[in-house]
Structure 1
């Protein structure tokens, strides 16, 4: 990748077709974000299942994926502040990306040294830190992407490249970690992926500065690393203290694995969104320039509610259902494979060559649909593909176990959800304001995963009630239900200031 890439990207307006260097950049950034995602999600649930952890507890670990849902809470920090050292030479966006990569590396190393899962609170702590830094990287990369490519036609190829990197990294992490665990143990599995996750850091460090005449690469690298280590230590200590306090409160209130905490978690998670909905009538009456006069932590959210008015409510309902199948499949697909008697070697192959090939094909078709078709038609195709990607696991559950059955099911799943994901990213990118791209995209994409991940946390309890077949029939139907919102959603129009 050329050293002048950052300067080229920031100094010139993007053409109608993004240049190859921009696509290469987002292939790399997608890889950086996708590699750790499986390690606190699908791979972790498989690891816990192999250690004999109860399926209900495994379901609770799926709530770690709720953290990215609330990335809008700290997303304004990335628009407002810079990382000391790194940002001086490489710019604000890349500074945050480099800090996040260090956080990802150290969190995954910590998960390797606690891979016996003898202390589940400790396992949860490092998984939460890994989820936090992975999400922070995504926020910085998404904000930069929307700034570089403001139109739907430009977004399609960049999103496809980004998701190729993201999903290929997820597949590499899932397949590679499981294969290493089969050959050795889970500690080595996490160490190998941690080293791979660190690989993009020196590539970004070797790239050119944001400003054309910026100097002092070595000094910026040293000072940025030292400041980053301090930030990582403070973040880890704060997370541990908050987690310890919450754990004590939960235990003191008498909650256990048998307690249905889903309604409580749902109520807490919905509070900030309910507050915005209650304030909607007042927001609509504000003058057009009101958001620009508000504090940076509030303005992006007020602006998007002002712009779409009451139309924002069906939009939020739609995005809540659209990725349902993707999230719920990721929660219980690996425990299902384990329960069906498939070996780690077979699971590794399904998560490897099969998933990578089919996922990239789905992403390519999804990016093409988003760039060439009317958005409503592209979204319908994505919802149908996602539903089929869930329902295929019902067939797997009843079929005689064989490698072919596993590979076909994994391929259909990855193709459908890859297609759906590419279309959805473009759709969300078209909803944000160019004044607040990172923060508003974080808000919308976070809300999109709130309901699915809340249900995912209760997936173990649901599975005990209706079985694996009933669970995947339900999850596919919920994903398909997003189609019924489209006649309303497609009529929503934004006000202009």
Structure 2
């Protein structure tokens, strides 16, 4: 907590200061997201890449679901130099901002080269996720109660969705006029804007000489870290592509059955591990481990109800994630231009999303949690089904605007109430690691299935695909009566008291 007092500006200690800070942090994390997901899907479509391969590229969005693997590093260590200059949380955010800028600028020049495009898209996803991990931990430390979380989560998602929409809309309009290279360079430049703003906040180090040394050390360390991460990513990517080729996976492969089987593995592993975790005393190595302890704590506190929680969080946003993969290719196939899609993703999507986020942030402070989660699931489903309606209408801007608005409003509302729900599951002792695990698992299964979306569309068509995605959102309602009764097990010291 001392890190917060020293590294955050005085304004951040006030409610309005926190809202402004988290609006900016949301912007810095949201701006790159469409560039390795939706916008990338349209770029690949323009280059003539098939839907099955575009679906495979959706697996890049799986990377954020594994952020729990490096979240403990962000909780435990500082970025050399940057940690002394800005403090732990902001030091990681600044390093990640540099990674975002360099990765997106590199993507600008990849063109139709699929391996290079994949490499820099993975790097962009990694550094974007790192920003989120550091910002989420800081948020939970700053606002430990549900009433405090609501407004800050809303501000964060406002910034996030504003940036996503601005990037998606701006990139498509620029691409239609000046090409994809110019579009990616423009968004890369915009993505770098939060860096000087966050850098101008009060430094952690008070000595002028100490500041200079820390900043120089941080810049050198950042360059080394960026190169090492890029080299490691390229090496792992080469192994994965080689293994896929050996397994015979190609553009015509139907990977849906295999993916569904993989989706069951996390639940099997959790069920097998739970008995041992529940019996573990406070001094057990499994619970005291710096690497595993924060994650084991979740299952120790919730027991077998953790399986129910994990099933619910996996399903709640599944419809939105699946729809995101093919919504833009569907709209493009109906006959809309990049500029028309960009305009819809601009003012219409931004306004609808912000209204949904604001309503969700307001209702979580007034309604019971189950009711807000239920309404979010229904609104998300209606947004997905709007694309079925769009596909059967003659191309007209009002049709595109209405479908986009319904999708973004439901997405914004559901996203806000879901973030608050996940935040309330976290043990305040391990905010960064536990929120990373919960939010990662929430999108693991949906993003695994999203990689098979091209194969699914070939089997059931666009209508079947979007009807299914909406139905999955509605299916989350079945869990709510049970979820509402789940309570965490008290810690040993609390039980004795």
Q: Give the TM-score category using the shorter length.
A: over 0.9
Match of 2:66 in 1: 70
Q: Which of 249, 256, 259 is the equivalent residue of 1:255?
A: 249
Match of 2:442 in 1: 448
Q: CA deviation at 1:263?
A: 4.2
* Residues 447 and 323 (structure 1), Cα distance of their counterparts in 2 relative to 1, 3 Å cut: same
* Residues 31 and 79 (structure 1), Cα distance of their counterparts in 2 relative to 1, 3 Å cut: same
2: distance between equivalents of 1:409 and 1:95?
A: 40
Q: Which runs of 5+ in 2 are unaligned?
A: 492-497
Match of 1:326 in 2: 320
* Correspondence 1:198 to 2:192: yes
Q: Which of 358, 377, 383 is the equivalent residue of 1:389?
A: 383
* Correspondence 1:112 to 2:108: yes
Cα deviation 1:404-430 (Å, max 9, x = unaligned) = 100111011101100000000000000
Query: 2:12·2:21 contact (CA, 8 Å) conserved in 1?
Result: no
Query: 1:35·1:197 contact (CA, 8 Å) conserved in 2?
Result: yes
Match of 1:46 in 2: 42
Match of 2:158 in 1: 164
Q: CA deviation at 1:50?
A: 1.2
Cα deviation 1:212-264 (Å, max 9, x = unaligned) = 77873333222211110110000000110111112112212322122233444
Within-5 A mapping of 1:206-355:
206-210=200-204, 216-265=210-259, 267=261, 271=265, 274-290=268-284, 294-355=288-349
CA RMSD in angstroms comes to 2.0
Q: Which of 59, 80, 84 is the equivalent residue of 1:84?
A: 80
What SS does the aligned partner of 1:474 have? helix
What SS does the aligned partner of 1:171 have? helix
Query: 2:316·2:473 contact (CA, 8 Å) conserved in 1?
Result: yes
Match of 1:495 in 2: 489
Q: CA deviation at 1:470?
A: 1.1
* Residues 415 and 12 (structure 1), Cα distance of their counterparts in 2 relative to 1, 3 Å cut: closer
Q: Which of 455, 459, 464 is the equivalent residue of 2:458?
A: 464
Query: 2:205·2:211 contact (CA, 8 Å) conserved in 1?
Result: no
* Residues 81 and 104 (structure 1), Cα distance of their counterparts in 2 relative to 1, 3 Å cut: same
2: distance between equivalents of 1:197 and 1:348?
A: 18
Q: Which runs of 4+ in 1 moved over 6 A?
A: 10-14, 211-215
The two structures have a TM-score, normalised by structure 1, of 0.95
Q: CA deviation at 1:66?
A: 0.6
Number of equivalences: 489
Query: 1:375·1:427 contact (CA, 8 Å) conserved in 2?
Result: yes
What SS does the aligned partner of 1:371 have? coil
Query: 2:84·2:205 contact (CA, 8 Å) conserved in 1?
Result: no
Match of 2:22 in 1: 26
Query: 1:328·1:475 contact (CA, 8 Å) conserved in 2?
Result: yes
* Correspondence 1:364 to 2:358: yes
Cα deviation 1:301-320 (Å, max 9, x = unaligned) = 11110000011011100001
Cα deviation 1:96-134 (Å, max 9, x = unaligned) = 1001000000000110011x21x2111111100100110
Query: 2:356·2:413 contact (CA, 8 Å) conserved in 1?
Result: yes
2: distance between equivalents of 1:214 and 1:278?
A: 55
* Residues 7 and 230 (structure 1), Cα distance of their counterparts in 2 relative to 1, 3 Å cut: same
Q: Which runs of 5+ in 1 are unaligned?
A: none
* Residues 220 and 379 (structure 1), Cα distance of their counterparts in 2 relative to 1, 3 Å cut: same
